[in-house]
Amino acid sequence: MKTKQMNNKKIKVIQSYPVWQELTQIWLYNLVHYLPDTIESHIVCERTKNLDQFWVPNIHALMDSPKWRYYWDKGLRKLKIRRHLQFLVDVAKRENATILHSHFGHLGWENLDAAKLAGLKHVVSFYGWEMTSLIKNEPHWRQRYQDMFNKVDLVLACEGPYMAQCIVDLGCPPEKVKVNRLSVISGEIAFKPREWYPGEPLKVLIAASFREKKGITYALEALGQFQERVPLEITLIGDANSEPRSQQEKQKIMAVIDKYKLQNKVRMLGYQPYPVFFEEAYKHHIFLSPSINASDGDTEAGIPYALVDMAATGMPIVSTKNCDIPSLILNGVRGLLAEERDVPGLITHLQWLVDNPEKWYDMVVAARDYVQGEYDAHIQGEKLAELYSQLT
């Protein structure tokens, strides 16, 4: 048994991410909140948001420092005199931390010197876009990652074997790569198998940020063509951010709504807090989430987090054979999968669900059981704690 464990000392981990925390990143909150008591996390960020929903102990925000310190630290990074925040190094030393966990690959590279200066073991988690579209649009990141892989101690894929192999393909030694899945609190998610009866409206939920990789336009194309077969009520949760590509995607989404005259059938709720997302989910019959590899190189790389949530609630899922999605939604067993950009395939799956409502139950039970076994926050927290302990 390791000395730290014999002395009942907690392993102190710096969790590094610029903003704690966005509404769309409940998975990061779960990762930290559900670590076992053997781990003491310290959040080191530049600023905080939504603390009424995502408060945890030991949050250290640069924005709370004296103004001179804030602008000095940020200024040195902006001038490229150094990549990391000295604030992170100072917190790590003050708290006697032993591990730095950088969330997202590009932040791992920025934090290389911080880990060295503070004498920390370094763990880096990849989540998707930073290993796909970032590299396509800024190819120099491939060499940066090569340098990072040689220096860090552990690299985590947040979803499954597809993402893990993508990291290896970027040049990471296979022995450094482990899978630690995004998680849900499955025991706190009510399991309510959906039921639908012919003649009543089929209520379909779409929930995602407005980005090409989410395939929202294909979902709406399928529903636009399907509306003549079954009465539909569609809810769209999500919106565009300030990025031009996201604003362009919103225009494409609105164009499809106009094309099929879906205005009276689509409720657009914008971004919503996590509890509202679940409240809406239980009002719907089907979750439609046809992810694709985007033209700019952006991909899920792993699995859209909402799929795990919806599988846990007992809602039938129609998605695509994209990245790690098939590892969660086993086609025909735990949901239905079409090929990417395959509108007729999506329609075929929607028709199957309408024709076979008595078969929904076995499908959603299988999905719920899988989520409880593979994605539960407590289980994944224990696994991550074990990975941390192996580094100390």
The mean pLDDT of 127-146, rounded to a whole number, is 92
pLDDT value of position 8: 66
Q: What class is the 3-183+376-389 domain?
A: alpha beta
Q: Which of 50, 377, 25 is nearest to 61 (CA)?
A: 50
Going by pLDDT thresholds of 50, 70 and 90, the confidence category of residue 254 is: very high
CA dist., res. 322 & res. 166, Å (int): 13
CATH number of the 187-374 domain:
3.40.50.2000
CA dist., res. 193 & res. 369, Å (int): 13
What residue segments make up the domains of the chain, in order of their start? 3-183+376-389, 187-374
pLDDT value of position 90: 97
Going by pLDDT thresholds of 50, 70 and 90, the confidence category of residue 141 is: very high
Q: Which two tokens stand for residue 22?
A: 């966005």
CA dist., res. 372 & res. 139, Å (int): 39
pLDDT beyond 50 at 4: no
Q: How many CB atoms lie within 10 A of CB 328?
A: 24
- Give DSSP secondary structure letters for 88-110: HHHHHHHTT--EEEEESHHHHHH
CA dihedral for 85, 87, 90, 94, sign (positive or negative): negative
Q: Work out the burial of residue 214: count CB atoms within 10 Å of its CB; fewer than 13 is exposed, 13-18 middle, 19 or more buried.
A: buried
Q: Which residue stretches of the chain are H helix?
A: 3-6, 26-33, 51-54, 67-78, 86-94, 105-110, 112-118, 133-137, 140-151, 161-169, 216-226, 244-259, 274-281, 305-313, 325-328, 343-355, 360-374, 377-389
Q: What percent of the chain has pLDDT over 90?
A: 86
Half-sphere exposure of 383 (CA within 13 A, CB side): 17
What is the side-by-side strand order in the sheet with 336-338? 266-270, 232-237, 202-207, 286-289, 317-320, 336-338
> Of the spans 69-73, 96-100, 182-186, which averages the highest pLDDT?
96-100
Residue carrying structure tokens 């590094």: 16
Residue carrying structure tokens 């929607």: 350
Among the ranges given (133-137, 282-286, 371-375), the one the predictor scored with the smallest mean pLDDT: 133-137
Going by pLDDT thresholds of 50, 70 and 90, the confidence category of residue 290 is: very high
CA dist., res. 378 & res. 375, Å (int): 9
Which helix or strand (DSSP H or E) is residue 11 part of?
Answer: strand 11-16
pLDDT value of position 198: 93
pLDDT value of position 292: 96
Mean of pLDDT over the chain: 94
Under a CB-based contact definition with an 8 Å cutoff, are residues 148 and 112 in contact? yes
pLDDT value of position 300: 87
Q: For residue range 208-241, list pLDDT tens digits in order.
A: 999 999 999 999 999 999 999 999 999 999 999 9
Which amino acid, residue 182? L
Measure CA of the first residue to CA of the last residue in the chain; give whole Å. Answer: 11
CA dist., res. 117 & res. 90, Å (int): 10
pLDDT value of position 137: 87
CA dist., res. 309 & res. 192, Å (int): 12
CA dist., res. 43 & res. 18, Å (int): 10
Q: Which two tokens stand for residue 343?
A: 């509108």
The mean pLDDT of 119-144, rounded to a whole number, is 93
Q: pTM for the whole thing? A: 0.82
pLDDT value of position 26: 86
Going by pLDDT thresholds of 50, 70 and 90, the confidence category of residue 5 is: very low
- CA distances 160 to 62, 105, 288, 334, Å, are 33, 16, 21, 17
pLDDT beyond 70 at 325: yes
Residue carrying structure tokens 């932040």: 107
CA dist., res. 323 & res. 221, Å (int): 22
